[in-house]
Amino acid sequence: MARDMYKRSVSKIWTTLNAVFQFQNLDTLLAILGIPRLSPTKKTAVGIASLPYRHSGKDPYFKVLEAHFLHLAHHFLLLSKSISVETDESPGVGHYNYSFDVKNLKLPKQNELSIWLEKRNRMSPRNLDLYPKLAEDHIVIVLYVHNRPQYLRVALDSLSLVAGINETLLIVSHDGYFEGMNKIVESIKFCQVKQIFAPYSPHIFSNSFPGISPFDCKDKDEPTKVRCEGTRDQYGNNRSPKIASLKHHWWWMMNTVWDGLKETRQHSGHILFIEEDHFIYPNAYRNLQSLTELKPEKCPECYAANLAPSDVKSKGEGWEALVAERIGNVGYAFNRTVWRIIHRNARQFCLFDDYNWDITMWATVYPSFGGPVYTLRAPRTSAVHFGKCGLHQGQDEEEACIDEGDLNLELEDIDRVPNVKSVWKVYQHKRQEGYRAGFKGWGGWGDVRDHKLCLTFANMYGAST
């Protein structure tokens, strides 16, 4: 019955939109609400990911129409929260069929380290004396790290040579606290830099959840027989805090950067996300500025811009054309409108049994957008994933790889200067490799406690799911 009400509510909203807006201002209203467009329209010239976050307010009837739709949308969202997780339309989530009110979820009890890190997160950026002002069109850069200091040094060395890096803010997000990583970041002098530390990382809780609890189920323990705490994943594996931390950190970071930090919660432009094992080319920032400026005109259906191809082994086609393809996980940037869409799908993200944030996005969140989720990139890469040799790129000597901090990568002159041309057309990869309907995930994310903590992160700054 609840599912039928859910479907009728969606139909009612869609019918109202068609009648009221006649396909005119649909993208604008959906962008305000952070709800993805349900089907393409012929009369809409600009894609939702290219719109500014707030409407212009020029239409004298807009406020009345907006209020009417907000009432319907609120009804729809309440219904979506009240029904069971298991639905025919929730790809891969049907493994869990419990339901709970996210408003009643609470964050775990903090220890002294957690409280101290949360206070540090409120500190102002460093180097304000060297770089007192940010450029008006700056793109914030977020570098998320764990505990690989030899990788971090390489990533930061590459960033220090990026043209325009002194115009923006670099946020380094740590999964826990590691003094060696902290000292490396504190030595940065090439731009404004702010450190944030995940205060609920499993790495800072030694004897309680989200870390290892004395009562946690271990190995193949059956909770109902051993009387231990935890819920096994779909493959029968009990919780591993180190594995779970990967997805938790990414989701906590996203919510904190977009909705929590005073430095970024009002940021109206794009934000670039990179990792500690990404080498960034000198032309990356200027190329990204060009891509975000060209995206509304060249690829209105693109939700993001990428520095690198989605295939981590590729350095690009080398064409004289821009490329639209599926979003990759190396150097991706999007705006607040897209974040609101992602955030509306918090339940899909938090309940999908896969500890990988990127696979979760590809398998459950992006499919909910209602069509192909494209990103715009240049025909030559401006970033590479190095990591450990053999981890992602294999043992091929021609591939960029790192061993104890030595990077096997030679830059060509063309990769040192901006090389995106505004006159180029866009080649679109129509066939998007991905995960088919029914894919259940690789596991590692079956514990109900992780699901609840993940959903709590989505609501900790007042944003509703």
Domains and CATH numbers, the chain: 2-83 (no CATH), 112-459 (3.90.550.10)
Residue 293 CA, distance from chain mean position = 21
pLDDT recorded at residue 203: 95
pLDDT recorded at residue 218: 85
pLDDT class for 447, splitting at 50, 70, 90? very high
311 is in an annotated binding site: no
Asked whether 365 and 356 are in contact (CB, 8 A), the reply is no
What's the Cα-to-Cα distance from 334 to each of 167, 295, 339, rounded to whole Å? 19, 11, 7
β-strand pairing of 169-174 with 302-306: unpaired
Burial code (b: 16+ CB inside 10 Å, e: under 16) for 411-443 equals eeeebeebbbeeebebebeeeeeebeeebbbbb
DSSP 23-72: TSSHHHHHHHHT---SS--SS--S-GGGS-SS----STTHHHHHHHHHHH
Length reported for the chain: 465
pLDDT class for 430, splitting at 50, 70, 90? confident
Question: For residue 5, is pLDDT > 70?
Answer: no
> The pTM is what?
0.78
d(Cα 373, Cα 133) in Å, to the nearest integer? Answer: 34
What's the Cα-to-Cα distance from 368 to each of 69, 343, 345, rounded to whole Å? 21, 12, 8
Report the candidate in 377, 350, 381, 384 with the shortest Cα–Cα distance to residue 364: 350
Report the candidate in 81, 67, 85 with the shortest Cα–Cα distance to residue 464: 81
Question: For residue 284, is pLDDT > 50?
Answer: yes
Quick one: tokens of 273? 């996300």
pLDDT class for 14, splitting at 50, 70, 90? very low
175 is in an annotated binding site: yes
pLDDT class for 340, splitting at 50, 70, 90? very high
What's the Cα-to-Cα distance from 100 to each of 82, 85, 118, 140, 343, rounded to whole Å? 8, 9, 27, 35, 18
Question: For residue 22, is pLDDT > 60?
Answer: no
d(Cα 234, Cα 127) in Å, to the nearest integer? Answer: 48
**Residue pLDDT, tens place only, 39-71:** 443 333 344 444 443 444 444 434 444 444 544
Least confident segment among 34-48, 124-138, 224-238, 321-335: 34-48
Tell me, what DSSP letter sits at residue 106? -
190 or 4, which is more confident: 190
d(Cα 241, Cα 149) in Å, to the nearest integer? Answer: 21
- H or E segment and range at residue 197: strand 192-197
Least confident segment among 4-18, 48-62, 151-165, 238-252: 48-62
pLDDT class for 402, splitting at 50, 70, 90? low
> Above pLDDT 70, what percent of the chain?
72
d(Cα 335, Cα 241) in Å, to the nearest integer? Answer: 31
Tell me, what DSSP letter sits at residue 104? G
84 or 30, which is more confident: 30
Question: For residue 202, is pLDDT > 60?
Answer: yes
Report the candidate in 107, 111, 105 with the shortest Cα–Cα distance to residue 207: 111
What value does the CA radius of gyration of the chain take, rounded to a whole number of Å? Answer: 22
Average pLDDT, rounded, for the chain: 81
141 or 55, which is more confident: 141
Mean pLDDT, residues 323-338: 96
d(Cα 218, Cα 115) in Å, to the nearest integer? Answer: 29
74 is in an annotated binding site: no
- At residue 423, what are phi and psi to the nearest 5 degrees? -85, -10
Mean pLDDT, residues 394-412: 60
